[in-house]
Structure 1
Amino acid sequence: MPSLKRTNGSEPFHRQSRAVEVDERHRLDDVLSLLFPSTVRVQHSHPIFGHMHSLRLLTLSNGAHLLLKGSPSSRTALLRRERSFLETEAQFLSLLAQSANPCIPRLYHYDPHGRLWGSAYLIRQYMKGKSLSEMEGELTSQQRDGIDRHLGFLVSAIGQNAAPGFGSLQQVAFGAGRPSWREAFCALFEGILRDAEDMFIHLPYSEIRHELSRLAPALEDVSLPRLVVVDFGRPCHVLVNEESGQLSGIVDFSSAVWGDVLMAEIFANASPAVLQGAGMAVSRTREENIRLVLYACYRLVSQITVQYYRNRDETTEFDARRRLTTTIAEMMRLKLA
């Protein structure tokens, strides 16, 4: 009697998985052929999870480490401003290419059509280091001050880049920038409010819109459109060398706009070291204080809204709502000169 061969139900799955892996490796090699000699191949491709965009750490046969950042999944709900994040980051890195700053990654390639990869993607230098959010408790006060000074210097250096109009990098590149920061910021704020309304999020919309309109004249003081990364200084985007405790890199420039340097998140509660590094005075004018409160309100509305577009964190949302209530009350007390 012939023996019965035992079948393994997982074999077809493994074969399919292997085929997908081989296909991906071939596509990666095709992409790399645009950048390196044909002898350079992908040795390892390691997915990095937990991000809105798809991320892959690529180790090449020549020893180089690159990061491939692709479009979010088509199933991912996006805020209005997030729809152009990948393009914004590519444009930002192109603008900063001449600075050759070791803390800003080099852009190798950007393809908005994704001809070889299947969707839009960029390839940039992989930045080594541990995030500031992970390292915070291990740093001495001197190390933290050093990082803050360096961050202040960087945000100021980035702001030395100026443009003929305000607004998104895409708008300005196409000659469609706004003539005033007041107009550009109000449009940006209205976008996040509409994102919140789309999800039926409970917020004091009328109060926010009223105070924004009332205090908006303070934005007129910003007359020169400067390059600013709105999320700049966020601890998860700041990389630190574990051995030296010094700044080793910055990642994620997708929130960049042409606007007011003070909108960078690092100025929300800037330490003296940040201000020293940026070459700014500790004291603020009335208009600067008003602008900082408007930017704080924008960030808090964004923090609340994004919870309904991602995996909701009720603790984060509750904290943001509490701070938003305080910020709106502060806005109501502010008076223009």
Structure 2
Amino acid sequence: MSSSRTAVPPRQHLTSLMYALPVRRLKEILSHVFPNETLGPVEELKSTQLSRLYSLTMSDDRKLILSFAPSLSVHLLRHEAAILSSEAKLAHFITESDRRLENQGTSSNQDSSIANHGDLSALVPKLLKHSPNNREMAYPYSIFEPTAGVPLSTVAIYLSLPERRLIDKQIGLMARALASFTSPSGGFGAVSRILPDPFVQSASTSTALETRGSKSWSEAFHGLLEGILRDGEDKAVLLPYEVIRANYKRLSHYLDSVLRPSLLVLDIGNDRNVMVERGLDEEGSVATSAEGVRLAGLRSWSQGVFGDPLLADCFDGSNESCLEGWREGGEDIIEDGADAQVRMLLYQCFRAVVSIVTEYYRPQSDSSRRELEGRRKLTTTLAEMEKHGNTISSTLKRTRSSGNNVDGSKKQKTEALR
């Protein structure tokens, strides 16, 4: 049985904007970003994201997005602790990488397929300002130019099958474009650990880069997995912790075949995070054909990781359209393809545990359904792991048995010679 928890509805009564947001201080900050413009209307946006989002309208009708760190009342998982700085670092990293590519051509220390990343920079929101601490305002914050479109979750039921397939294919293309980037330090792990903070001046940045992240993917993934398991234990969530840990210990050596720390976003395929928009037809009306819908980017880029691209949730299940986009995005860079299925089992286990534990940290009205779905996936995945393990055990037993027979035969021959 699950431990008791109470579902809470989404926020309905918002705190007065004048108390929730230091508008006067914000105006001063924006005056340095846009000297010739002034701040106009400010509106809090309803969002499923952890960060608090505000829409800012400048005097020239320019739209901006202010992203505040979650309030202290929001319970974060361990891998979510640095979401605001992680998003800012990743947005800056991709933008600067694109700028260097434009000025210098394809970088020698990146995969050659990075030249085929297309309009990736157009999918990443332009970061205008980021403050990693609470010195300027009550919380750390970022100011972006907004990503176009609406969350896929709000329009998914209205999309035709060809439209949905097109979006899934574009997600696969975006995942492949991201995977063209590798960790600048050569280490594995979350973006927040790998990338230096470009907004904090440090004389030892280059030295620190040399030691950022884990030396192996198995070590980095173990940190992610152990983190979510401890989150579950902290909330007394009923889960087969020892079984999960034993399966990881038994199968973790398959992760050591991943030697290239590629960039991925954990929730790149989440309908609540994917932003889409429809173009206009020749008459200026919203297009209804598949050609009229497009991927506009992600609402949040805070779940970046340098590791095995297969950890991204867009590879959870058999989405042929996503795989088609991945293949078209460049040459296959998945390492040790023969054992990739074993790694996928570990990743499916991780995602299932995340989905279950999240409902205990931030329960909603439909948490029971989400939790049940996560538990079903976890049960199925663990069963597949056991089958794989039994196959290995049987092989080892046969090998040992054969070895014992050979030894016994040799012993008999030796005794006969005597």
Q: TM-score, normalised by structure 2?
A: 0.72
1:5 alignment counterpart: none
Q: Is the 8 A contact 1:31 1:117 kept in 2?
A: no
Distance (Å, rounded) in 1 between the aligned partners of 2:163 and 2:293: 6
2:190 alignment counterpart: 168
Report 1:247-262 matches (<5 A).
Answer: 247-262=295-310
Distance (Å, rounded) in 2 between the aligned partners of 1:18 and 1:52: 18
Q: Is the 8 A contact 2:151 2:299 kept in 1?
A: no
Partner of 1:241, secondary structure, is strand
Is 2:37 the counterpart of 1:40? Answer: yes
Distance (Å, rounded) in 2 between the aligned partners of 1:170 and 1:149: 28
1:255-299 alpha-carbon deviations (Å, 9 max, x no partner) = 111111111110112422211211177x99441111111111101
Q: What code does the residue aligned with 1:330 have?
A: E
Partner of 2:33, secondary structure, is coil
Distance (Å, rounded) in 2 between the aligned partners of 1:196 and 1:44: 41
Is 2:352 the counterpart of 1:300? Answer: yes
Report 1:174-193 matches (<5 A).
Answer: 174=208, 175-193=211-229
1:6 alignment counterpart: none
Is 2:319 the counterpart of 1:271? Answer: yes
How far did residue 40 of structure 1 move? Answer: 1.1
What count of residue pairs does the alignment treat as equivalent? 319
Root mean square deviation, CA, Å? 2.2
CA gap 1:54/1:17 in 2 versus in 1, 3 angstroms: closer
Q: Is the 8 A contact 1:105 1:127 kept in 2?
A: yes
Q: Is the 8 A contact 1:219 1:287 kept in 2?
A: no
CA gap 1:70/1:290 in 2 versus in 1, 3 angstroms: same
1:23-46 alpha-carbon deviations (Å, 9 max, x no partner) = 732122112123111x31221111
Distance (Å, rounded) in 2 between the aligned partners of 1:47 and 1:305: 28
Is 2:317 the counterpart of 1:319? Answer: no
Q: 1:103 aligns with which of 123, 134, 159?
A: 123
Partner of 1:88, secondary structure, is helix
Distance (Å, rounded) in 2 between the aligned partners of 1:138 and 1:77: 33
2:248 alignment counterpart: 212
Q: 2:276 aligns with which of 231, 240, 264?
A: 240
2:383 alignment counterpart: 329
Q: Is the 8 A contact 2:86 2:192 kept in 1?
A: yes
Distance (Å, rounded) in 2 between the aligned partners of 1:211 and 1:234: 26
How far did residue 232 of structure 1 move? Answer: 0.9
Is 2:177 the counterpart of 1:157? Answer: yes
How far did residue 137 of structure 1 move? Answer: 2.2
CA gap 1:250/1:52 in 2 versus in 1, 3 angstroms: closer
Is 2:72 the counterpart of 1:74? Answer: yes
Q: Is the 8 A contact 1:233 1:265 kept in 2?
A: yes
**Residue range with higher mean Cα deviation, 298-307 or 42-51:** 42-51
**Residue range with higher mean Cα deviation, 156-165 or 235-244:** 235-244
Partner of 1:246, secondary structure, is strand
Q: What code does the residue aligned with 2:59 have?
A: S
Q: 1:119 aligns with which of 139, 143, 146?
A: 139
Q: What code does the residue aligned with 1:304 have?
A: I
Partner of 2:239, secondary structure, is coil
Which consecutive aligned stretches of 4+ in structure 1 deviate over 3 angstroms post-superposition?
16-21, 283-286
Structure 1: tracts of 5 or more residues without a match: 1-15
1:55-89 alpha-carbon deviations (Å, 9 max, x no partner) = 11111112211111111111222211111111111
Q: What code does the residue aligned with 2:257 have?
A: D
Distance (Å, rounded) in 1 between the aligned partners of 2:19 and 2:320: 52
Partner of 2:218, secondary structure, is helix
Report 1:127-142 matches (<5 A).
Answer: 127-142=147-162
How far did residue 19 of structure 1 move? Answer: 5.9
Whichever of the two has the greater Rg, that structure is 2
Distance (Å, rounded) in 1 between the aligned partners of 2:152 and 2:74: 27
